[in-house]
Structure 1
Amino acid sequence: MTTDTMSTTRTRRGALELVAAMGLSGTLGVFVLESGASSFNVVFFRCVFGALALTGYCLFRGYLRNTGLTRRTLALAALGGVFIVFNWVLLFSAYGRTSISVATVVYHTQPFYVVLLGVPFFRTGLDRHRVGWIVVAFVGVLLVADVSTADLTGGSGYLLGVGQALLAALLYAFATVIAKYLTIRPELTALIQVLVGIVLLLPFTRLGDTAGIDARWGWLVGLGVIHTCVMYILLYSSYQKLTTDRIAVLSFVYPAVAILVDFAVYGHRIGPLQMLGVPLIVAAGLGVNLGLRLLPGGRRPAPERHTPAPAPVPAGQEVRR
């Protein structure tokens, strides 16, 4: 097999892995809502079952030997876990206040926060093109939020859900920035973060509320095993095989699947005005990640030197460029 053929095969496999990971991400909201548990309880048990599954996987692969952990990396991974865990709590709460579709699309503003945080933390440039794309994205957010819909669905509760999705995206961006300073395996980072989540959320978790959920335990187990362990493995494996531009494009499978699943399962559909906002956010996301020029004149901006943040999971390993 020639080098070119091997490279093509590797890229195709990475693309399939990333599409699978994004597809799983799109079903996340159904598992959360069908569990019937509060957002704190859902995240707590996601961390518990995710920790069990990730521990088994790391033991099987030998990742718990020679981990390379230092006090600094452990502290950074734990801090990232704090941001990740509360990002989940806010996003899951937003599902119930708005809808899976609206919360997911608004949450997909993560890359723009990462770009903004890159200015003080990594001294990356923020030219007029990137500023323009960020403005386009938040115009899209305003359209997706659709105040008229908020009036119909309870006003402040709906808008609070939109705000929770935006804040969840910001917390995820902080976790992404922290991950840039980590040199340990991403699976190990994820394990540390869910372990932190167990300790952090235990005081907020109402264990007594789980007495009557019966068969709905399956949804909570699925969140830990499928949407944490399996999805992480697929996601990080794909990052090693794909370039940043491919990741940026394929990441939008996530909100697309979420919108389709929300309609298929719950009959929720986004309105005409909201439909205008979705492509604005998608186009802005691609523009920022691919370094596309928005305004006339000037040089084409270079793409950001970071891995896009496509899904509600901790950022991890650097990708091949």
Structure 2
Amino acid sequence: MNKKALTQLALAMSIFGSVGFFSGLTGLSAIELVFVRLVCAAIFLFTAWLITGNFKNEIWNQKELLFIILCATSNLLNWIFLFKSFEQTSVTIAISLYHLAPIFVLIIGSFIFREKLTWLLILALSLCFTGTLFILGLGEIHSSAFEWNGIIYSMVAAFFYAATMLFGKSITKTSVYATTFLQMTIGILLLVPFVDFSAYTSLNSIEWFYSILTGVVHTGVVYLLFFNGLRNLPAKVISFMIFVDPAVAILLDILLTEFRPNWLQCLGILLIFCGLLFTIKQSKTSANSECIGSGKDSAA
């Protein structure tokens, strides 16, 4: 287990858990907000790339450039549909359903990266997803006020989120700085024709502050941490660490608003963290077993 990568991914997910709350304070619709995030993040990442000196030792690979383009496209669609879901339904509901993504990652990753998918891991993942459903509130699904457009947008965003993670895990030679900067730049070029620039003229200073904050922190900083974690952790650990995001979202809902979770939602948070801890422990056990096996082979 790469502890540094695990810490970075956990921090990235913790920060990203607050994005739904800050997006509501920007005064921008989905496409315009995504565009601001892309521009701010691109400037931040390019600056970091120059300051660290990584651009001098960059290794360019044609195959990886293709993965970067695919990753950027899927990431752009992921953001657009996620913020559209925030417009149609509550942050808690949108974020919870958004976390269908780890299921896609775990299943597809087991085939692409040939990582063993055991029944115990499937059980642990089921605990995490059940936890998100409990946070969502099962009774609300049958409510006539439930926004089905928001559900659909969240699930589509989940699909593109999974694609982003899988493409990102395939990028190993290009530095994290170059990878994320190129993704933001490609996203800007793809999105420019669809942006309503007049929407920015009505923003006040506070809305601009939150818009730039989500660009630099929730995008630039988060994606440096996120993509470094992706390339240094197995898909099964990535799948479970992403569940930190909805747990943080619900905790912020408690701290920043008058929302109080019921017993079912409290159980959901508990299930998420139980699944996380179980998976990390299993991954450490697997890693130790592989090391022992390699040692025996060498001795033989």
TM-score for the superposition, normalised by structure 2:
0.78
User: Do the aligned partners of 2:132 and 2:246 also contact (CA within 8 Å) in 1?
Assistant: no
Match of 1:39 in 2: 30
**Structure 2, gaps ≥5 residues long:** 288-300
Match of 1:174 in 2: 163
Q: Are 2:184 and 1:194 equivalent residues in the alignment?
A: yes
Q: Assess, with a 3 A threshold, how the Cα gap between structure 1 residues 134 and 166 changes in structure 2: closer, same or farther.
A: farther
Total equivalences in the alignment: 284
- How much has 1:269 moved relative to structure 2? 3.9
More off after superposition, 127-136 vs 187-196? 127-136
Match of 1:127 in 2: 118
Q: Are 2:246 and 1:255 equivalent residues in the alignment?
A: yes
- How much has 1:17 moved relative to structure 2? 5.9
- How much has 1:77 moved relative to structure 2? 0.5
| Corresponding residue SS for 1:29 | helix
Query: Using the alignment, how far apart are the partners of 2:277 and 2:187 within structure 1?
Result: 32
- How much has 1:221 moved relative to structure 2? 0.9
Q: Assess, with a 3 A threshold, how the Cα gap between structure 1 residues 281 and 168 changes in structure 2: closer, same or farther.
A: farther
| Corresponding residue SS for 2:56 | coil
TM-score for the superposition, normalised by structure 1:
0.73
Identity of aligned residues (%): 27
Q: Assess, with a 3 A threshold, how the Cα gap between structure 1 residues 126 and 171 changes in structure 2: closer, same or farther.
A: same
| Corresponding residue SS for 1:184 | coil
1:15-68 CA distances to partner (integer Å, 9 max, x unpaired)? 876665444223222221100211111111100111111111111222223421
| Corresponding residue SS for 2:54 | coil
| Corresponding residue SS for 2:25 | helix
1:249-303 CA distances to partner (integer Å, 9 max, x unpaired)? 87665433322322333434444433333333333344445438xxxxxxx9847
Query: Using the alignment, how far apart are the partners of 2:124 and 2:101 within structure 1?
Result: 13
| Corresponding residue SS for 1:154 | coil
Match of 1:164 in 2: 153
| Corresponding residue SS for 1:211 | helix
- How much has 1:227 moved relative to structure 2? 1.6
* Aligned partner letter, 2:113: F
Q: How does 1:52-131 map to 2 (within 5 A)?
A: 52-131=43-122
* Aligned partner letter, 1:193: Q
**Structure 1, gaps ≥5 residues long:** 1-9, 293-299, 304-321
Query: Using the alignment, how far apart are the partners of 2:248 and 2:68 within structure 1?
Result: 30
User: Do the aligned partners of 1:100 and 1:262 also contact (CA within 8 Å) in 2?
Assistant: no
User: Do the aligned partners of 1:140 and 1:277 also contact (CA within 8 Å) in 2?
Assistant: yes
Q: Are 2:215 and 1:218 equivalent residues in the alignment?
A: no
Query: Using the alignment, how far apart are the partners of 2:127 and 2:209 within structure 1?
Result: 40
Query: Using the alignment, how far apart are the partners of 2:228 and 2:63 within structure 1?
Result: 25
- How much has 1:194 moved relative to structure 2? 1.0
Query: Using the alignment, how far apart are the partners of 2:115 and 2:11 within structure 1?
Result: 31
* Aligned partner letter, 1:90: F
- How much has 1:235 moved relative to structure 2? 5.1
User: Do the aligned partners of 1:80 and 1:193 also contact (CA within 8 Å) in 2?
Assistant: yes
User: Do the aligned partners of 1:45 and 1:221 also contact (CA within 8 Å) in 2?
Assistant: yes
- How much has 1:238 moved relative to structure 2? 7.5
Two-structure CA RMSD over aligned residues (Å): 3.6
Query: Using the alignment, how far apart are the partners of 1:143 and 1:85 within structure 2?
Result: 29
